[in-house]
Structure 1
Amino acid sequence: MGRLGIPSTRENDVQTCTIIEQDDTKWFVEGTVPGRRHGNVNHGFRITASICHTKTRFQECLIFDNPVYGRVLVLDGIVQLSTFDEYIYHEMLVHPVMFAHPNPRRVVIIGGGDGGTLREVLRHDPEEVVMIDIDEEFVKIAAEHLPSLSNGAFQDPRVRLLCEDASQALKQYEDLFDVAIIDCNDAIGTSEILFEDDFYATVSRALKTDGLCAVQTGSALDLDFLDQTRERIQRQLGATADFRMTIPVYHCGEYIFIAAGRGLDPLGPDVNLLKQRQAQRNISTKYWSPEIHHASQIQRPVTPLSCRSVS
C-alpha cells in the first residue's frame, strides 16, 4: 500500500506501459491505475500510430494516436489526457478557482508539464505565473508532440518555469500567490508527497490570506481516498468544494477536483457574478460555464454502487 492508503502500481518505481499485438493491431492496455480498480479492470486503446515511447529521469512516457480520442498521453502506464477531451479536464481544474477569485494576479501551478493548465490560466491575464514541474525532459516532449496543449504558453514572458521538486521549491514563497493549482499525477511515485499534509501546509503558506487552491484529486470510484485527501486539504487550506465531471478517456470516466480557501468561498460566487467576470475577462470556454460551475458541485448520494472499499 502507498502512504495514502492506495495500492502502489510500481515495482522499484518503474512502470511498464503494456502494449499488446492482436491481429497485426497494437493496443495499449491500461490496467494499472491506482485504487480499487488496480488489478481488477483493464482499459484498452487501439494504437493507430506510435508517436513517442521513452523514459525520462522520472517517468515512462508513451504518446500514441487513437481513432476515437486522437492523441493520447500515458505516464507510467496511466492515461493522463487525450486531445479529444483534455479541455474538460483543464477548464474544470482552472476556471472554478480563477473565476472565484476577483483578481488573480499571481498564480502558481504544481505539475502540469503538458502545458494545458498553463494555457487556461494565461487566459485570465495574470501578471505572473510560476510553474513547478520536476521533469524538464517531459515538458519538452509534450511541447513537441502535444503542441495544442500549451499552445505557445511556455514562451509567454509572464511565465517562470522551475524544473524542481515542488515539495521543496514552493517553500521559497510566502504570502504571494492568489491562486495555486495542483496538477500532478496520481498519488504514486514522485507525486505521492504532493498529496500529504506537509505539502498542503506549504501551499497554504505560499498563498495570500484570500488565496484559493485547486487540486486534481482522483477517480470518483475511490471515495475513501477522496475523503482522506479532502480532510488533509481542509486541515491546511480551509473550506473545500468538490467539482465532479466526466472525462471519457479516463478509466472510470468520472473525476473529482477539489477547490479550497480560507478567505474566499471555494464554492465561488453566484451564476450572475460568474457571468459578469467571464464577460469582463473575455474568456470563451468549451465546457466550463457559470451553470456547470455550480451544477458540478452537486454530488450523488453514497450508495452501495458508490464504491467504498469492500472486502
Structure 2
Amino acid sequence: MEWFEELYGNTGIKIRVREKMVDFHSRYQHIQVFDTYDFGKMLVLDGKIQLTERDEPFYHEMLVHVPMFSHPSPKKVLIVGGGDGGSLREVLKHDVDDVVVVELDEEVVRVSREFIGIDRGAFDDPRVTLLIEDGIEFVRNAGERFDVMIVDGTDPNPYSEHIISEEFYKMCRKISEIFATQSQSPFVQQDYFSTMLRNISRVMDVRVYVNFVPTYPLGLWSYMLHSPSFPDLEELRRRFEERKVEVVHYNPELHVASFALPEWLKMVVEKALKG
C-alpha cells in the first residue's frame, strides 16, 4: 500500500495511490503524477498537490468563470500559468476570439497533456497561443490589452514570488480590464495570502472570494478579483443562460455567495490592508 502525503505545518493530507506515473525534476521543479484510488490522476509539483481529476473543476471553474461572467462579452483573455490546461478549458467555454497562455515550465504542459488530459484538447484550439516564458516578462513587454487576465500560479516557490509583487500587479493593471488570481489558503497560508492582498491592493481595488477545494490545504481556497463592475444575481443568471456554459461546480448563486466572507477572514483582510 502506497500513500502520498502533503504536510502544511503540523497537519496535512494523506491520499492512497495506485501508481506513481511520473517522477522527475524539470529545470524549475519536481514534477510527479500519481494515479489515486479516490481522486483519479493527481499532479504534484515540489510535493504540493496542484490538481486531482475529481475536484479540479471546483478550483478551475471558480478561478475562471467568476471573472469571465463579470465581463459582458470577453473576447481576448490572458492566462499566466495554468500549464495543466484546466483554466484554458474553462475560458474556451465562453465565446472568446483569442486566448494567450504564458507558462514558464513546458514540462508541466507536456506531462499534463500526456498523462492527465484535463485540457481536453484545449491547447489544440486555433484560438489559443501557448508561450513558454516567464509571465512577468510577457506582461512587462505586452503591447496589447486583454478583456480578462487570469493568474493560475503554483504554490509559493522562488519562481512564483515575482508574480505576487506590486510591480507585477501594476503592469497587469495596465493591460487588463478584469483581473483575477488564485491566492492560496487564507487559513493555512495566511502570511502568503496577506502579502498578496497588500501588494495587489496598492495597485488596484480587489475583492476576495472563497471556495471549497477538498484536496487543497484544509479545503478552503481563496481568489482575488479586480473588476470595474460586479453583476448582480439576475444579470449573472442571464449571462450564464445566454452563454450556455457547461459546468460541474460553478453557478451564478455560488458566484454571488463566494464573496460573503466569514468574520475571521474579514479581520484578516482588514489587517492586511492596514499593513
Question: What TM-score does the superposition give when structure 2 sets the normalisation length?
Answer: 0.93
SS at match of 2:206: strand
Superposition CA RMSD, Å = 1.8
| Cα deviation, residue 190, structure 1 | 0.6
User: Whole-Å Cα distance in 2 between the matches of residues 74 and 223 of structure 1?
Assistant: 22
- The residue correspondences of 1:255-270 to structure 2 (distance < 5 A) are 255-261=221-227, 264-265=228-229, 268-270=230-232
Is 1:218 the equivalent of 2:184?
yes
Which of 69, 74, 78 aligns to 2:48? It is 78
Gaps of 5+ in 1: 1-24, 32-36
User: Whole-Å Cα distance in 1 between the matches of residues 69 and 166 of structure 2?
Assistant: 26
Q: Which has the larger radius of gyration?
A: 1
Which of 213, 226, 245 aligns to 1:247? It is 213
* Alignment-derived partner of residue 302 in structure 1: 264
Kindly provide the CA deviation profile for residues 97-151 of structure 1, in whole angstroms up to 9, marking residues without a partner as x: 000001111100000000000000011121101110011122011000111x100
User: Whole-Å Cα distance in 1 between the matches of residues 144 and 135 of structure 2?
Assistant: 17
Is 1:158 the equivalent of 2:141?
no
User: Whole-Å Cα distance in 2 between the matches of residues 175 and 274 of structure 1?
Assistant: 28
User: Whole-Å Cα distance in 2 between the matches of residues 302 and 240 of structure 1?
Assistant: 18
User: Whole-Å Cα distance in 1 between the matches of residues 133 and 239 of structure 2?
Assistant: 34
| Cα deviation, residue 227, structure 1 | 2.7
User: Whole-Å Cα distance in 1 between the matches of residues 195 and 108 of structure 2?
Assistant: 30
- The residue correspondences of 1:13-32 to structure 2 (distance < 5 A) are 25-31=1-7
- The residue correspondences of 1:179-194 to structure 2 (distance < 5 A) are 179-194=148-163
| Cα deviation, residue 284, structure 1 | 2.3
User: Whole-Å Cα distance in 2 between the matches of residues 70 and 214 of structure 1?
Assistant: 28
User: Whole-Å Cα distance in 1 between the matches of residues 95 and 140 of structure 2?
Assistant: 25
Identity %: 35
Kindly provide the CA deviation profile for residues 162-221 of structure 1, in whole angstroms up to 9, marking residues without a partner as x: 1001111222224510100000102222111111111111211222xxx11110100131
SS at match of 2:2: strand
2:186, 2:220 within 8 Å by CA — same for their partners in 1?
A: yes
1:29, 1:45 within 8 Å by CA — same for their partners in 2?
A: yes
SS at match of 2:160: helix
Look up the equivalent residue of 1:282 and give its one-letter code: K
| Cα deviation, residue 87, structure 1 | 0.3
| Runs of 4+ displaced beyond 6 Å | none
User: Whole-Å Cα distance in 1 between the matches of residues 12 and 193 of structure 2?
Assistant: 22
User: Whole-Å Cα distance in 1 between the matches of residues 256 and 161 of structure 2?
Assistant: 30
User: Whole-Å Cα distance in 1 between the matches of residues 69 and 36 of structure 2?
Assistant: 34
Is 1:289 the equivalent of 2:247?
no
Question: What TM-score does the superposition give when structure 1 sets the normalisation length?
Answer: 0.82
* Alignment-derived partner of residue 109 in structure 1: 79
Look up the equivalent residue of 1:241 and give its one-letter code: R
Kindly provide the CA deviation profile for residues 245-271 of structure 1, in whole angstroms up to 9, marking residues without a partner as x: 11111121100011113xx12xx2011
